[in-house]
Structure 1
């Protein structure tokens, strides 16, 4: 079975009571811009399209924890900055998830495979252009690589597999590249002969004709900047349906667990349950759906280890949806969690 047929067939805190907070007027802070974006995305962000792993997935990705994935390959310098966001968490940055990437070399070949009609060159004992990283507090993973080549029936692309910390699969997808005569794809393949790219664009399969991208590339299209001499940088955001808002899959790593406030919706008072594995400094700030800072529930309060229940009264809040920004600072670092808060 050749690649084209394979792809076609594969689609198909304890008892702490906090005094009533003071309602602020119209102070706008730079941090509110971020919250504003989060609030707006509550109703707009969607999971990135799922795609086939293709015929060349990594055999043992846990053995390839590395950010530089070039190995012995040559080509145009290439950096990948991939952000993971959680549609079940206000589409905020998703920290602590595993991200695997892999792609072909400048000649269109994959490591860990070969010696068959699907790929004649045998690279079964090579492990180039494959890597795994864990997302940071910004949901970011970065990889140093070379610009991918292309092969028959496929546009230039990168494979991505995202897992929860326990190894449960969240999403398999692919990243598409902008095309056209001013694009990096065109420049590398037409003008990159001195870097070893010899195929040109003759016979290239464009995104619109690529079976894998037949459902469109609106959620998979990346941004690519740079030059041949300076190298290119890809930036892309992938949305996954991860942990439900208010839960923490990596609580042990972060030394805390944030749960959804209750009741939610509420009329008079609500409680934010936070379990701390060590003494921490905690702040909770409430914003409206436009990103305007309304009130501070607690501000850099030092709390002991254990389960804490932080109370917030309705005060002057009108019925509607709000975003509670929770900041926790401890020996593991500074972490932010965002909760959707509903008032009846």
Structure 2
């Protein structure tokens, strides 16, 4: 295992989650966004640093909008298993990296009402939804489950459920079954509220892989604390080959599962990507039923 990955895991703890990445409560985020809604410009202060709800469409200029326009639209996102490594981290923040080594990956997700965008693909953006993502690090390990996730049962195979935990009761999630973490790390986990166009944006690292599963990112979409979508995102094989040939990913040995061999992969979860100066930008439209 790459030494940078291992040292980083030892430095991060769940107790530091609320001081990393500018995490704030959901109520404060929505209040700030509502106060700014008439100005047409990004909110100032804490909300700008912590939520994409007021700035996601402008942070990367027109590139985000262009990628979202290129990506498939109004195909109802497929419901997928949440896998065995989800817990309610209850953290609204844009930057999920903490100090995880890996290629910078900016991910933009647009949440749309499936019934509305079916009539007009440019319409139906759901404002103030909460998009939550989590994924493994460059070495294939999930925060909160460092002792068992790499090469463990984390395939998230159909029918596999998280057990032993409580049900979520955080600021944006209520009633979902949680797994019980084995450590207090929270890297590469977090949530963002959507802006007026239904767009949320994260800065993270490109996800790694682990045996038995294709490379993926988990996600949930919450509206009024109700989960309306649980799914997984995937990437083109040529991009995966490109990323995994670089450090620290290339220190990960073993056989990688391809999309074609993965029993969860679905094309509706394929992310549209573009190269940036320091990594990659990805975008996807998520059509949901409310």
Q: What is the TM-score when the length of structure 1 is the normalising length?
A: 0.51
Tell whether 2:213 aligns with 1:154: yes
Are the counterparts in 2 of residues 148 and 157 from structure 1 also a CA contact under 8 Å? yes
Which of these residues, 237, 240, 248, is aligned with residue 179 of structure 1?
Answer: 237
The Cα offsets for residues 302-322 of structure 1, whole Å up to 9 and x where unpaired, read as xxxxxxxxxxxxxxxxxxxxx
Q: Residue 204 of structure 1 corresponds to which residue in structure 2? A: 256
Which of these residues, 213, 227, 244, is aligned with residue 189 of structure 1?
Answer: 244
2: CA distance between counterparts of 1:118 and 1:149? 10
Q: Residue 138 of structure 1 corresponds to which residue in structure 2? A: 197
Q: Residue 80 of structure 1 corresponds to which residue in structure 2? A: 107
- The aligned runs of 1:273-284 (5 Å cut-off) are none
- Hey, which of these two has a bigger chunk of helix by percent? 2
Q: What is the TM-score when the length of structure 2 is the normalising length?
A: 0.59
Pick closer, same or farther for the CA change 1:239–1:199 going to 2, 3 Å: same
After TM superposition, give the deviation of residue 114 of structure 1 in Å. Answer: 3.1
SS at match of 1:188: helix
Q: Residue 307 of structure 1 corresponds to which residue in structure 2? A: none
1: CA distance between counterparts of 2:229 and 2:131? 10
After TM superposition, give the deviation of residue 115 of structure 1 in Å. Answer: 2.3
After TM superposition, give the deviation of residue 209 of structure 1 in Å. Answer: 0.7
The Cα offsets for residues 116-142 of structure 1, whole Å up to 9 and x where unpaired, read as 47667x972110000111111111100
In the TM superposition, structure 1's runs of 4+ consecutive aligned residues that sit over 3 Å from their partners are 116-120
Pick closer, same or farther for the CA change 1:134–1:112 going to 2, 3 Å: same
Are the counterparts in 1 of residues 209 and 256 from structure 2 also a CA contact under 8 Å? yes
Where in structure 2 are there 5+ consecutive unaligned residues?
Answer: 1-71, 119-123, 153-180
The Cα offsets for residues 193-242 of structure 1, whole Å up to 9 and x where unpaired, read as 2x454226x511011111212xxx22111112116x62111111111012
Tell whether 2:96 aligns with 1:69: yes
Are the counterparts in 1 of residues 141 and 149 from structure 2 also a CA contact under 8 Å? no
SS at match of 2:202: strand
Tell whether 2:199 aligns with 1:170: no
Are the counterparts in 2 of residues 61 and 100 from structure 1 also a CA contact under 8 Å? no
Where in structure 1 are there 5+ consecutive unaligned residues?
Answer: 1-40, 243-344
SS at match of 1:170: strand
- The aligned runs of 1:108-127 (5 Å cut-off) are 108-116=140-148, 124-127=183-186
Are the counterparts in 2 of residues 111 and 123 from structure 1 also a CA contact under 8 Å? no
Q: Residue 245 of structure 1 corresponds to which residue in structure 2? A: none
Tell whether 2:274 aligns with 1:221: no
Are the counterparts in 1 of residues 229 and 288 from structure 2 also a CA contact under 8 Å? yes
CA RMSD, 1 decimal: 2.3
How many pairs are equivalent? 186
2: CA distance between counterparts of 1:149 and 1:123? 20
- Choose 1 or 2 for highest CA Rg: 1
Q: Residue 49 of structure 1 corresponds to which residue in structure 2? A: 78
Tell whether 2:144 aligns with 1:95: no
- Hey, which of these two has a bigger chunk of strand by percent? 1
